[in-house]
Amino acid sequence: MYTVKVEARRERWEQYWRLVRPFTLITAATGIVATSLMGWLASDLDFSVVVALRILLGAFVAMSFNAGTNALNQIYDLEIDRINKPQRPLVTGKLSIEQVWRLSILTYSTSLIFAFLLSIETFLVIFIATLITLIYSVPPFRIKRWGVLANVAIAISRGLLLTLSGWTITNTFYRPDPWYLGIVLTLFLVGAATTKDFTDIDGDGAYGCKTLPIRIGVRACAYVITPFLIFPFLLLPFGTFYGLLDVNQTVISVVAMLLTGLGGYIAWLIVRDPFALTAENHPSWALMHQSVVLFFIGICIAFI
């Protein structure tokens, strides 16, 4: 009997782990750690155990927040996921709506509480991000249905607000650096966020979510998002020229070229065969997450 209970508990935790989509948590945690280090490098603080613990706590906040958003979105996308993602734990019945609600509330609350302990500015940024994710998923707003506006909401929360939240752990957002970096990343994500909509066309269309591939077609959408995958990173060197970024000019230029090249390659993969995006595991998925990680790591190095 004891072995059966242990096995059941292990299976439930595995389902929770699948539900929160761990690869998104890793990207968010990397972003928080990197932007926290940027804020520290741009400050007069000496590195200490306290600073290290604050950065680690910030990574936990980011992962907890992302877990909450992923859980909430799957609650309100349940009927859509029956078509698009039939293997997800809610659809298969391996987790109940009540269990996922409890997880979402717990993780959202945890992220807000620990963000408050870090700083008022961090709490404010996470609170605004929470509101955006609620408006994105929850009726009567549910701007997920509204195509481009949904992309902008995702891009702001995963780009600008993620950058600001990490920066405020070790610095203040009354500086232009995090805002400029966040805007550049947001512009990239406006295009990148659309790629998830290609695989979800059937379910989204059946339940009234007028995403960009549905509105203008798969091929046209592929061409529309291409500039967002390439050109935003070219703005990075201009930040140092106009005094918006206090970083090494050579390093930031190299990072910009690498990211632009990678963005161009991703765009080529998409435009070459747009309909391949309607299937799972298109190479562009992994490459776009890698672009975000490279962005954070590269910019962090530029601050040294």
CA distance 111 to 28: 13
Is the CB of residue 69 less than 8 Å from the CB of residue 133?
A: yes
Token pair for 204: 């989204």
Q: Letter for the amino acid at 126?
A: I
Q: What is the pLDDT along the chain (304 residues), one digit of tens a residue?
A: 556 566 767 888 899 899 988 888 888 999 999 999 999 999 888 889 999 999 999 999 999 999 999 999 999 999 999 998 899 999 999 999 999 999 999 999 999 999 999 999 999 999 999 999 999 999 988 988 887 888 899 999 999 999 999 999 999 989 999 999 999 999 999 988 888 788 888 888 888 888 888 888 888 988 999 999 999 999 999 998 888 999 999 999 999 999 999 999 999 988 888 777 766 666 777 788 889 999 999 999 999 8
Half-sphere exposure of 137 (CA within 13 A, CB side): 19
Nearest C-alpha neighbor of 210 from the set 143, 279, 139: 143
Is the CB of residue 299 less than 8 Å from the CB of residue 181?
A: yes
Query: Which structural domain, as residue segments, surrounds residue 85?
Result: 2-303
Q: What is the pTM of this model?
A: 0.92
Report the domain count for the chain: 1
Bond preceding residue 232 cis, omega within 30 of 0: no
According to the model, what pLDDT value does residue 133 have?
A: 95
| DSSP string for the chain | -HHHHHHHHHHHHHHHHHHT-HHHHHHHHHHHHHHHHHHHHTSSPPP-HHHHHHHHHHHHHHHHHHHHHHHHHHHHTHHHHHHH-TTSHHHHTSS-HHHHHHHHHHHHHHHHHHHHHH-HHHHHHHHHHHHHHHHHHSTTT-GGGGTHHHHHHHHIIIIIHHHHHHHHHHS-SSSHHHHHHHHHHHHHHHHHTTHHHHTTHHHHHHTT---HHHHH-HHHHHHHHHHHHHGGGGGHHHHHHTTS--S-HHHHHHHHHHHHHHHHHHHHHHHH-GGGGGSTT-HHHHHHHHHHHHHHHHHHHHH-
CA distance 228 to 106: 35
According to the model, what pLDDT value does residue 111 have?
A: 97
According to the model, what pLDDT value does residue 9 have?
A: 76
According to the model, what pLDDT value does residue 263 have?
A: 93
Token pair for 147: 């195509």
CATH (domain of 242)? 1.10.357.140
CA distance 300 to 294: 10
